[in-house]
Chain A
Amino acid sequence: MAKTLLDKIWDAHVVKSIPGGLDVFYIDRHLIHEVTSPQAFDEIEARGLPLFRKEQIVATADHNVPTKNQHLPIEEPLSRFQVDKLTENCAKHNIELYGLGHQNQGIVHVMGPELGITQPGMTIVCGDSHTSTHGAFGAIAFGIGTSQVAQVMASQCLLLSKPKSMRITVDGGVKPGVTAKDIILYVISKLGTGGATGYFVEYAGSAFRALSMEGRMTVCNMSIEMGARGGMIAPDQTTFDYLNGREFAPKGEKWEQAVAYWSTLYTEEGATFDKELFFDAADIAPMITFGTNPGMGMALNAVIPTDVPASEQASYSKSLSYMGFAPGESLLGKEIQYVFIGSCTNSRIEDLRQVAKYVQGKKKAAHVEAIIVPGSKQVEKQAIEEGIDKVLAEAGFELREPGCSACLAMNEDKIPAGAYCVSTSNRNFEGRQGPGSRTLLASPLVAAITAVEGKIVDITQYLN
């Protein structure tokens, strides 16, 4: 029977199947960070268990690190304690740690791919829902809870039932100003925040094929925002070119063998999915969200929908009231106070280049605070080498040091109550960027233009 990409990778990682439909499922790479690992270390220590395959674990500090003065001790005591705990645990168990100050430190989902730790055909987990990012390489990658972090530490396996499969095909060329972020925000707006729950998604079609690896990562990153267990794109020449020469990518003869194997990782003709969806790339416009979940997105120049089913009306009204918006309203002309460019969704070098290209020779609006947080030390270094830091500074944008930052506001980077923030991150939940904050998700290009104009505009009139 013809196999899907998911079938091929899943089947290759089943250690054994147990009665009742669960598989003992092998994990190739385990990424850990300071927030969801301490209780797992405690768990295995309390049970007196050794780490089963510590060389398959890589750690970094990202979620609550400050984005200023990283060379100094962390000021906030609880964050410092959590980061110190990670350092202590990694030292005790001899785990590779890219901590603060290390040249490889960064947001876990930026760090893994850029070092070549993430490779096609692998299974990758992390105690973070945006682990779906790594699926861009044709890997099965997904977020897990802390109990599962402990299970992987103890056995390098998880007990899982195979998810249902969904293929989302987007064909055709995109309009000017439409980026990977707009494509995925569009797809999520069509499916809703729970529309892919229970499924593992494969993205197919020429619109995804045309994306760079960084664009593909942006797409797969947000799979979880429609409830999907993960998202993946079959590896191709773009994937191989990206990986070739990276620190942990196979080298020499092994590289040739790896590429030969990776080239077999695609969905075969005639393979069936539990659900298939098709979209036309030409229908996608630059997007923005207007509500408090990522499914509440629309084209920038559209109006907030009014046709909501009666059963969802109460939650919809609550959401719009939190945002200070009304059904039927246009967002064009709305003044915003903050722009955040960063997060595991959009903090890579291409994102920064795109922002720098637009803002070069311009100034941000006086009332806007514009924060740019690179995804990793490597992205930061490259931005400085390319002079992007100077372009941004001249335009009034502040380039910070790497971390998750205002995406979830665990560190000092918070959006004040009531303020509007156009953010390139992945979640617009109530209070996500700080208590009372109001988040509008968008692409780095939309964020850059918004920062300069100081208000929401139809960006298609600003592109040249």
Chain B
Amino acid sequence: MEKFEVLRSTAVPLPIENIDTDQIIPARFLKATSREGFGENLFRDWRFDNTGQPKADFVMNTGRYSGRILVAGKNFGCGSSREHAAWAIHDAGFKVVISSFFADIFKGNALNNGLLPLQVSDEVLERLLNQIEQDPQTTLVVNLVNQELEVPVWEEKFSFEIDAYKKECMINGYDDIDFLVNQKEAIEQYESNRPWAY
């Protein structure tokens, strides 16, 4: 997993609520057996028409917005457990998704892939979306070490929550497998003492 400490970037606004994983990456694109290449089908049916031509009015096609931060409406990533959703967003070049609420499984999948799900309040989200739509050049600074989102043009910083262990993993590029495999002795000990297990 890539290491993550501080990211300074412009952002892409997607002010839609309840963006589900079928919109992020439709099921028909889940047939690949590797983790790469899902980015080209990110938001496929919003981004392209049924002949494969880009839809001019979608935020990723207007030419107005760019950057490595996606700012999306609340309850982002609801629906299926497909990790392909996190892979697709990451593969398309994003390192951070900002929303006011994330679905659980998506959040976990994102963290396992070096994609930071950054939760802000509904109010801050609305301000951010307005700011970016008014000035697409607005730069945001995501500081994972200090757990702060800075909006320099407002001269404001917002702190965000992240599990201490997950933060450590993202900063160092570690993942859970490394940790769990090292617990083998404790796991075997546990297994030997389950009289109720059938």
B184, closest chain A residue (CB): A155
A155 touches B183 (CB 8 A): yes
A145 touches B183 (CB 8 A): no
A148 touches B186 (CB 8 A): no
B137 at the interface (CB under 8 A from A): no
B33 touches A194 (CB 8 A): no
A128, closest chain B residue (CB): B81
Q: Do A159 and B180 contact each other (CB < 8 Å), given the known contacts A254-B198, A409-B28? A: yes
A299 at the interface (CB under 8 A from B): no
B83 touches A229 (CB 8 A): no
Q: Please, what's the 1-or-0 string for B3-22, where 1 marks a CB less than 8 Å from any CB in chain A?
A: 00000000000011110101
Q: Which residues of B contact A35 (CB under 8 A)?
A: 30-31, 82
Q: Do A429 and B22 contact each other (CB < 8 Å), given the known contacts A38-B33, A148-B112, A157-B183? A: yes
- What is the CB-to-nearest-CB distance from A180 to chain B, in angstroms, rounded to a whole number? 21
B92 at the interface (CB under 8 A from A): no
B73 at the interface (CB under 8 A from A): yes
Contact partner, A227, options B31, B75, B112, B190, Cβ 8 Å: B75
Q: Please, what's the 1-or-0 string for A222-265, where 1 marks a CB less than 8 Å from any CB in chain B?
A: 00100101000000000000000000001000100110010000
- What is the CB-to-nearest-CB distance from A414 to chain B, in angstroms, rounded to a whole number? 8
Q: Give complex CA distance A131, B86 in Å.
A: 20
Q: Which residues of B contact A457 (CB under 8 A)?
A: none
Binds B, one of A12-20, A212-220, A266-274, A331-339: A12-20
- What is the CB-to-nearest-CB distance from A325 to chain B, in angstroms, rounded to a whole number? 17
Q: Give complex CA distance A156, B35 in Å.
A: 22
B20 touches A429 (CB 8 A): yes
B181 touches A155 (CB 8 A): yes
Q: Give complex CA distance A28, B197 in Å.
A: 9
A193 at the interface (CB under 8 A from B): yes
B94 at the interface (CB under 8 A from A): no
B62 at the interface (CB under 8 A from A): no
Q: Give complex CA distance A24, B165 in Å.
A: 13
B81 touches A156 (CB 8 A): no
- What is the CB-to-nearest-CB distance from B73 to chain A, in angstroms, rounded to a whole number? 7
Q: Do A12 and B196 contact each other (CB < 8 Å), given the known contacts A144-B81, A145-B109? A: yes
Q: Do A20 and B163 contact each other (CB < 8 Å), given the known contacts A129-B79, A194-B75, A410-B27? A: yes
B179 at the interface (CB under 8 A from A): yes
Q: Which residues of A contact B176 (CB under 8 A)?
A: 147-148, 151, 158-159
B33 touches A155 (CB 8 A): no
Q: Do A20 and B164 contact each other (CB < 8 Å), given the known contacts A38-B33, A429-B22? A: yes
B83 touches A22 (CB 8 A): no
A81 at the interface (CB under 8 A from B): yes
B66 at the interface (CB under 8 A from A): no
CB-CB contacts below 8 Å: B22-45 with A: 22-23, 26-28, 30-35, 45
B105 touches A145 (CB 8 A): yes
B31 touches A64 (CB 8 A): yes
Q: Give complex CA distance A318, B79 in Å.
A: 18
B80 touches A24 (CB 8 A): no
Q: Give complex CA distance A323, B126 in Å.
A: 26
Q: Which residues of A contact B18 (CB under 8 A)?
A: 193-194, 293, 315
18 CB-based A-B contacts, threshold 8 Å: A15-B183, A15-B187, A22-B163, A28-B197, A35-B82, A63-B30, A129-B105, A147-B112, A154-B177, A155-B184, A194-B18, A194-B101, A254-B198, A408-B22, A431-B23, A431-B26, A431-B45, A436-B50
Chain A contacts to B: CB under 8 angstroms: 12, 15-16, 18-22, 24, 26, 28, 35-36, 38-39, 42-44, 47, 49, 52, 63-64, 78-79, 81-82, 85, 119, 121, 127-129, 131, 143-148, 150-151, 154-159, 161, 163, 193-194, 197-198, 224, 227, 229, 250, 254, 257-258, 261, 293, 311-312, 314-315, 318, 408-410, 417, 427, 429-432, 435-436
Chain B contacts to A: CB under 8 angstroms: 15-18, 20, 22-23, 26-28, 30-35, 45, 50, 73-75, 78-84, 86, 101-105, 108-109, 112-113, 122, 126, 163-165, 175-177, 179-181, 183-184, 186-187, 190-191, 194, 196-198
Instruction: Give me the 10 closest cross-chain CB pairs, A-B, nearest first.
Output: A143-B81, A145-B83, A38-B33, A145-B109, A155-B180, A78-B31, A147-B112, A194-B75, A315-B17, A129-B81
